[in-house]
Amino acid sequence: MESQFFESPARAFSTRQAQLEGISARELYGGDYGRPHRGVFTTHPVETPVDYARAFAPRMRDWHALGDLTAARFWGLPVPRRFDSEKTVHIVVPSGRNKPRGSGIRARSIQLSNWTRTLEFGVSLATPTLTWALAARVLTSRELITLGDALVTTSRSYRGINRPSDPSVSEDPRAPVPALAELSELQALTDSWGRTVGATRMRAALAVIRPGVESPMESVTRLLLLDAGFDEPLVGHRVLSRGTFVGRVDLAYPDAKVAVEYDGEYHWEKKQAMNDLRRINRLQEAGWVVIRVTNRDLATPTAFLSQLRAALRRGTRSRGTTIDLAASR
């Protein structure tokens, strides 16, 4: 089922199509129609990057596919905010084929063996795996990891992702949903990417991508901990107490019974807040320390990191376990 995110009131058509429909040149150029691309008109003005991409449809050929960050937006992947105002339409074609040109169009060619597309959401798209590789040209390693986490997640709680099939058909709200890509697919494409731009970042990112992540900020939190010198926490850890399921935590240090939970705006909605409260009470009853963080804590993380160090020390001392606390030295 297509998301309303893809619905647009603007129908795009070429000059030739306009002639066939009896629309005169005076009507076309008189201001009633949008002109997002050379030789393309729309029945309404277009504003968003996705609308600009959809409006390019009359000029798309069988060997064209939306790629890079344009495709990432269609898949609902976490595109960094610094690209919010970019309306460039990115196209990827196999080597040997002509690339489209024009203002607002950026096309690139890649070797035929790596060029894979799919017809979804009414457009020709680079596959999720190829989208990740193409994005490596402009994203940082951290941003590429975050994008990769979103691709391989099977969590229903990861908001915004657009999957080709509707995962709501399951009767179990906790049941996993299909990942957009598998780690093995990312690995295979990385191996075949050669010296193409972004290959070094792809290899570095691939080693840190983890299934089970539930939000972009959860990825950011995990990477912050790694940068600060902490051991890597477990992602999406299921806490059991005497064999009974207690709850799932975003990031966990099971040996010290310490959990880190990222709280976005969604967590302050009444229903979710009540669910979180009951879950955290159960975790505390099972002996866990739960540290909740927000985007403000991540922006100035000194206090949060100090709190985590202290909690890990207490947890490891009481249980006689060892965790590398390099960040505290």
Report the interhelical angle of 141-152 vs 216-227 (nearest 10°).
Answer: 130
Per-residue pLDDT tens over the stretch 9-47: 568 888 788 777 778 777 777 767 888 888 888 888 888
pTM over 0.85: yes
The answer to whether 222 and 237 have CB atoms below 8 angstroms apart is no
CA distance 99 to 62: 12
In a 10 Å sphere around its CB, with 0-12 CB exposed, 13-18 middle and 19+ buried, how is residue 164 labelled? middle
Out of 28-37, 75-84, 246-255, 306-315, pick the least confident. Answer: 28-37
CA distance 33 to 3: 26
| Mean pLDDT score, 122-134 | 97
Per-residue pLDDT tens over the stretch 261-296: 998 765 566 677 788 788 899 999 999 999 999 999
Which residue segments constitute the domains of the chain, with CATH numbers given? 1-59 (no CATH), 216-328 (3.40.960.10)
